[in-house]
Amino acid sequence: MYSSDFGKDFLWGVATAAAQIEGAANSYGKGPSIWDTFSKRPGKTKKGHNPSEACDFYHRYKEDIALVKTLGFNVFRFSIAWSRIFPLGNAVLNQEGVSFYHNVIDECLKRGVTPMITLYHWDLPEALSKEGGWTAFAINSAFNEYALFCAKEYGNKVKHWIVINEPFGFTSLGYMLGVHAPGQTGVSNFFDAALHTAIAQADGAKILRAEVKDAIIGTAFSCSEIIPYTQSGQDLLAAKRVDALMNRFFLEPVLGMGFPTAEWDVLEKFAVTHSTWRHQERMKFDFDFIGIQNYFPLVIKYNAFVPVVQAWEVKAKNRRVPHTVMGWEINADSFYRIIKQFAAYPEVKNIMITENGAAFHDKVIDGKIDDPERTEYFKAYLAAMLRAKNEGVNVTGYLAWTLMDNFEWAEGYQARFGIVHNDFKTQQRTIKQSGYWWQDFLSK
């Protein structure tokens, strides 16, 4: 299997995110983001790691983009740090930040790599968080102002856009479970944040459509195949609830179906209290592609003691199935099935895998960074994607997560997902064996 098996127009890229790679978090006029402040709170990230230096991409973007090219990828996905452009969230502009992204874009174009911008990858300006962040309705006008600025500023050079990275990911981890920034908890915060995010997702896309000529606009959903632990009625229903939340909750409003409230009284109540039907038109957008990001399937069991969802994950290690160092099950067939699940909506015309990858403990053997598990992982997942494509699913691109080891949110610098190794003391990049595998795969 080589990249040519996927057709000549297929997009191959690496995905990254500002807070995870840039560093220079407190310099060059950038305002603090919620990840800068959250990571400084005791116990919030492993070993108290924070994104202030990360991979120092801010100073090394030229070498890193050269590396993307050397490996043979034709797309570089990166996100804009909102607070580098608007340090206080809106109104006051930081010209130095604006110029930085021009430089990154120009470097991509110079090297013949297509830049793909994510507008929001989780690093909300702290100043906006103080005013309620995603739980406050005011976030929508602030986000629209930011989106409009980016579209006007970069739209003549950048055609590929992703509005929001994993709405379910950051609203659930950051506003319900409190394990990601801004560390808020509770179902009510989650539902408030979710509604405003669903609105922002479509608003942002409409702004891009209006401002950017020939734009190719997508948004990126996390997804996981949900497998009931047993065929008992209770497990089946628990799996259905989790599926509604993790796979359907943010997708269906985009498709004009509203939130998936029918099968679950909690969602029904949310829809009623937030009058979500009033926003149904606003949450809808005909995206050019639907980005899906898959890392693991979940096996779900009924559990009466878990509030709201009454469901519990049966972990991969307890089921003794292969998993990564994150504890995430490795299961390429499940990747195939979740692609099919998303493709089954007639409104979904084009799917791009906007993230997929794995963290392992890499070994240094004879000066080489040896990561055979990661290479095997990619081989299996790409074969699964090819199977779906050959069966008629319109998959048009694949972006590997990720270019280099980086700041893995609450896991700090310990979880390494890169196909390039980064030494965080020296910022030395070394291509891993999986990176060389990619280079070969992409060359034919």
d(CA 77, CA 117): 6
Bridge partners of 423? 428
Which residue type occupies 78?
A: F
What minimum distance in Å lies between the beta carbon of 91 and ligand BGC?
28
Over the Cα atoms of the chain, what is R_g? 21
What minimum distance in Å lies between the beta carbon of 256 and ligand BGC?
25
d(CA 24, CA 154): 22
β-pairing, 420-423 with 298-302?
Answer: unpaired
**Backbone phi, psi, residue 411, to 5°:** -85, -5
Interacting residue ranges for ligand BGC, rule: CB under 6 A: 17, 20, 165-166, 169, 222, 293, 355, 401, 408, 417
Cβ proximity to ligand BGC: between 166 and 252 the closer is 166
d(CA 171, CA 100): 28
What minimum distance in Å lies between the beta carbon of 166 and ligand BGC?
5
What minimum distance in Å lies between the beta carbon of 411 and ligand BGC?
8
Residue 340, CB-side half-sphere exposure with 13 Å CA sphere: 14
β-pairing, 114-120 with 75-79?
Answer: parallel
Q: Indicate if 408 belongs to the active site.
A: no
Which of 107, 166, 225, 313 is catalytic? The answer is 166
β-pairing, 226-228 with 298-302?
Answer: parallel
d(CA 80, CA 100): 10
Give the distance between the most distant pair of CA atoms in the chain: 62
Which of 126, 153, 355, 408 is catalytic? The answer is 355
d(CA 297, CA 333): 10
What minimum distance in Å lies between the beta carbon of 7 and ligand BGC?
26
Cβ proximity to ligand BGC: between 404 and 431 the closer is 404
Burial class (CB in 10 A: 0-12, 13-18, 19+), 409: buried
d(CA 423, CA 420): 10
Cβ proximity to ligand BGC: between 336 and 417 the closer is 417
Say if residues 273 and 190 touch (Cβ distance below 8 Å).
Answer: no
Which residue type occupies 344?
A: A
Cβ proximity to ligand BGC: between 154 and 417 the closer is 417
Question: What's the per-residue H, E or C state across 235-259?
Answer: HHHHHHHHHHHHHHCCHHHHCCCCC
Cβ proximity to ligand BGC: between 18 and 238 the closer is 18
Cβ proximity to ligand BGC: between 276 and 294 the closer is 294
In sequence order, what DSSP letters do the residues of 153-199 get, joined into one string? Answer: HHTTT--EEEEEE-HHHHHHHHHTB-SSTT--BSHHHHHHHHHHHHH
What minimum distance in Å lies between the beta carbon of 366 and ligand BGC?
29
What minimum distance in Å lies between the beta carbon of 358 and ligand BGC?
9
Cβ proximity to ligand BGC: between 149 and 417 the closer is 417
What minimum distance in Å lies between the beta carbon of 295 and ligand BGC?
6
Closest CA to 147 of 96, 139, 253: 139
Cβ proximity to ligand BGC: between 176 and 271 the closer is 176
Q: Indicate if 131 belongs to the active site.
A: no
Catalytic residues: 166, 355
